């Protein structure tokens, strides 16, 4: 089954065929660094990181680029409010951005281009558009002439007459048409500026992304992603200026994630109904936050409230318990006497088939427009059966091999989902498992000697340390509280 993606441009799922066989150019619109990003902004950072990693898992060579908008009206306004320079604001929140995405388990992009470090590339783009007649200069400002690009609004599907009176079109009487958008903004008193052929000024937001994506990924790229709110005008304008410059299709597949909603409204800083990602991470684990995002399809909305986050916490805990059970059973087997079992038994063969079928179903889900909810459902079915197998009273070396394969499969999936805490930060998990086995053996010995005071004491002291002991007919197990 081929990988299929829902393309916003064509409004349908399409088989993924990259521009260059085996190679994928992937561009994600990054943050405007004027504040800590909110938890809604975190959604595209997490889900498109998962998609990028999955593409690599499927054998593609992926070049992943995420820009940093470090000059913008929002940055300038914030700097003026605080009486500091725009550069100070941008630097502070760029550092915060990297700190927060690292905590979220987002792998670094291959390139993080900054707008201020690509002024020459942006000027080249704008100058090319002026020379080919699709942009014009007015009082040091440069505007893109939408009338010269007949396919304008093909991404959003909006009607131009309605847009001209719409709320999202900036009013500027210097423009020939209300839909024309700024490529370069003439400097205002007190604002940062750069020299250009049209005078001192700074780039427009849309021109930044086109210039930087084409510099690092070429004139035609495979995937361009971002929040659904960027479809118009940002991504629409990127298409217009890029294709007007090169005469080539700019992006083959446009991917957009849905909003996080608060009481039915989009989470946004302008509405004030937001929580920063770092505030949420102080209350909930990274794996719980990732589960929260991945349990919903990336294109749909998510309702943000404590209840679904608490549910995500329990789901993440369930995954961790299942993974730790597998790991501890493998440690047990390595130190136990071998027990002969028929490795060709019906039950064993059934479990081997389950491993293969689960992997097949998981890939089928992810290949269907990155359907992470369905992929997570496959994982839950898999761990239910794996837990039943791992809790058997005695297992053979052949069984050990099968369980090792089950753990490896979870590791394989988790390598791009990041929903299982495979090891505690700064702790050698193997040593922890070994220490816990000694404590459980001592407790079992105390119980066998009817020294229940010592056995209960070990359980209670471990509980104080956040470790829960669970007794069953198959023996004692432990898990983090």
SS3 for 271? coil
Is the pLDDT at 201 greater than 80? The verdict is yes
Q: H or E element: which one contains 251?
A: strand 251-257
Q: What is the mean pLDDT of residues 463-477?
A: 74
- Residue 427's pLDDT is what? 46
Q: Which residue has the higher pLDDT, 48 or 265?
A: 48
**Mean pLDDT for the stretch of residues 290-295:** 97
Are 152 and 236 a contacting pair, CB within 8 Å?
yes
Name the nearest CA neighbour of 85 among 93, 94, 74, 75.
75
Placement of tokens 């050990």 in the chain: 400
Query: What secondary structure does DSSP assign to 200-238, as a single string?
Result: SEEE-HHHHHHHHHHHHH-SSEEEEEEEGGGIIIIIHHH
436: pLDDT strictly greater than 90: no
**Preceding amide of 410 cis, omega within 30:** no
The CA–CA distances, whole Å, from 470 to 421, 467, 479 equal: 20, 10, 8
User: In this prediction, what percent of the chain has a pLDDT beyond 90?
Assistant: 66
Q: Which residues contact 219 (CB under 8 A, 6 or more apart)?
A: 242, 246, 248, 250
Question: What pLDDT score was predicted for residue 165?
Answer: 66
| Model pLDDT, residue 91 | 97
Of 427, 386, 383, 423, the closest CA to residue 287 belongs to 423
361-391 pLDDT per residue, tens? 999 999 999 999 999 999 999 998 888 877 7
pLDDT tens-digit map of 7-65: 999 999 999 999 999 999 999 999 999 999 999 999 999 999 999 999 999 999 999 99
Mean pLDDT of 310-315: 93
Burial 237-270 (b: 16+ CB within 10 A, else e): bbbbbbbbbbeeebbbbbbbbbbbbbeeebbbbe
Strands 23-28 and 221-227: parallel
DSSP line for 343-373: TTSHHHHHHHHHHHHHHHHHHHHHHBT--HH
Answer yes or no: are the C-beta atoms of 4 and 367 closer than 8 Å. yes
CA angle 126, 130, 131 (to 5 degrees): 115
- Of 102-106, 163-167, 257-261, where does mean pLDDT reach its minimum? 163-167
Q: Which domains does the chain have, with CATH numbers?
A: 4-283 (3.40.50.620), 423-481 (no CATH)
**Is pLDDT above 80 for 186?**
yes
Mean pLDDT of all residues in 86-91: 97
* Higher pLDDT, residue 442 or 265: 442
Q: Tell me how far apart the alpha carbons of residues 260 and 235 are, in angstroms, rounded to a whole number.
A: 20
Percent of residues, the chain, with pLDDT higher than 70:
88
Share the mean pLDDT of the chain. Answer: 89
Q: What is the pLDDT of residue 335?
A: 52
pLDDT of residue 176: 87
| Residue found under tokens 């940062």 | 192
d(CA 325, CA 410): 12
Return the minimum-mean-pLDDT range out of 251-260, 353-362, 389-398.
389-398
Q: Do residues 42 and 30 make contact, with C-beta atoms less than 8 angstroms apart?
A: no
Token pair listed for 423: 């090891």
Percent helix, strand and coil across the chain, each to the nearest 5:
50, 15, 35
Mapped onto helix, strand or coil, the DSSP state of residue 102 is helix
Strands 23-28 and 12-15: unpaired
Higher pLDDT: 210 or 463? It is: 210
The answer to whether the CB of 373 falls within 8 A of the CB of 299 is no
DSSP 70: -
- The predicted pLDDT at position 168 comes to 52
Q: Residue 4's beta-bridge partner residues?
A: 15, 368
Please say whether the beta carbons of 398 and 440 come within 8 A. Answer: no
What value does the mean pLDDT take over residues 179-206?
96
Band of pLDDT at residue 441, cut at 50, 70 and 90: confident
| Residues paired with residue 7 on neighbouring β-strands, in sequence order | 12
pLDDT of 267 reads 61
pLDDT-derived band of residue 425, with 50, 70 and 90 as boundaries? Answer: very low
Q: Is the pLDDT of residue 459 over 70?
A: yes
Compute φ and ψ for 470, nearest 5 degrees. Answer: -120, 120
68 phi, psi to nearest 5 deg: -120, 115
Cα separations in angstroms, 336 against 97, 397, 470: 48, 10, 20
Report whether pLDDT(424) > 60: no
C-alpha closest to that of 310 among 288, 279, 332, 329 = 288
Question: Torsion angle, CA of 415/418/421/425, rounded to 10 degrees?
Answer: 90
Distance, CA of 6 to CA of 12 (rounded, Å): 5
- Cα(109)–Cα(98) distance, integer angstroms: 11
Strands, E assignment, 41-127: 61-66
The encoded tokens of residue 456 equal: 């209960």
Indicate the DSSP class of residue 194. B
Which pLDDT score is estimated for 460? 87
β-sheet with 23-28: strand ranges across: 61-66, 23-28, 221-227, 251-257
Interval 322-368: pLDDT, tens: 888 888 777 765 555 444 445 556 777 888 899 999 999 999 999 99
Q: Is the pTM of this model over 0.75?
A: yes
Q: What is the mean pLDDT of residues 280-301?
A: 95
Q: Residue 458 has what pLDDT?
A: 87
pLDDT digits (tens, 9 = 90+) for 121-164: 999 999 999 999 999 999 999 999 999 999 999 999 998 887 77
Distance, in Å, from the CA atom of 233 to the CA atom of 228, rounded to the nearest integer, reads 11
pLDDT at 470 over 90: no
Could you tell me the CA-to-CA distances from 138 to 135, 142, 172, 176, 336 in Å, in that order?
Answer: 10, 6, 11, 10, 81
């Amino acid at each position: 089954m081929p990988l299929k993606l829902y393309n916003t441009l064509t409004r349908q799922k399409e088989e993924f065929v990259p521009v260059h066989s085996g190679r994928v150019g992937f561009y994600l619109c990054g943050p405007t660094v004027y504040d800590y990003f909110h938890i809604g902004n975190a959604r595209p950072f997490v889900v498109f990181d998962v998609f990028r990693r999955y593409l690599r898992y499927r054998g593609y060579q992926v070049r992943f680029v995420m820009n940093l908008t470090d000059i913008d009206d929002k940055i300038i306004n914030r700097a003026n409010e605080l009486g500091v320079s725009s550069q100070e604001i941008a630097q502070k929140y760029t550092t915060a951005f990297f700190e927060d995405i690292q905590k979220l388990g987002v792998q670094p992009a291959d390139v993080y281009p900054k707008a201020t470090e690509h002024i020459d590339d942006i000027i080249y783009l704008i100058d090319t558009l002026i020379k080919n007649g699709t942009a014009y200069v007015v009082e040091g400002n440069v505007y893109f002439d939408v009338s010269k690009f007949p396919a304008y609004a093909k991404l959003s599907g909006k009607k131009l007459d309605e847009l001209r009176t719409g709320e999202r079109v900036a009013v500027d009487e210097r423009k020939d048409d209300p839909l024309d958008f700024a490529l370069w903004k003439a400097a205002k008193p007190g604002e940062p500026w750069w020299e250009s052929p049209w005078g001192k000024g700074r780039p427009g937001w849309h021109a930044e992304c086109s210039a930087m994506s084409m510099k690092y990924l070429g004139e035609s790229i495979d995937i361009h992603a971002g929040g659904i709110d960027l479809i118009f005008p940002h991504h629409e304008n990127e298409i217009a200026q890029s294709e007007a410059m090169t005469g080539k299709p700019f992006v083959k597949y446009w991917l957009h994630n849905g909003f996080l909603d608060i009481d039915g409204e989009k989470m946004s800083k302008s509405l004030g109904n937001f929580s920063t990602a770092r505030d949420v991470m102080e209350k909930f684990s990274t794996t719980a936050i990732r589960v929260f995002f991945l349990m919903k399809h990336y294109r749909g909305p998510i309702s943000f409230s404590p209840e679904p986050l608490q549910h995500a916490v329990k789901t993440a805990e369930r995954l961790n318990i299942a993974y730790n059970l597998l790991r501890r059973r493998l440690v047990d087997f390595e130190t136990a006497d071998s027990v002969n079992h028929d490795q060709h038994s019906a039950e064993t063969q059934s479990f081997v088939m389950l491993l293969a079928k689960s992997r097949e179903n998981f890939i089928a889900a992810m290949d269907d427009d990155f359907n992470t909810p369905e992929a997570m459902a496959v994982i839950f079915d898999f761990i239910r059966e794996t837990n039943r197998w791992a809790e058997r009273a005695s297992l053979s070396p052949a069984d050990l091999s099968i369980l090792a394969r089950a753990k490896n499969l979870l590791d394989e999936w988790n390598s791009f989902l990041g929903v299982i805490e495979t090891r505690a930060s700064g702790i050698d998990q193997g040593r922890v498992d070994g220490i816990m086995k000694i404590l459980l053996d001592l407790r079992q010995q105390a119980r066998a000697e009817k020294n229940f005071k010592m056995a209960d004491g070990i359980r209670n002291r471990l509980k104080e340390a956040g470790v829960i002991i669970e007794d069953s007919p198959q023996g004692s197990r432990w898990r983090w509280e």
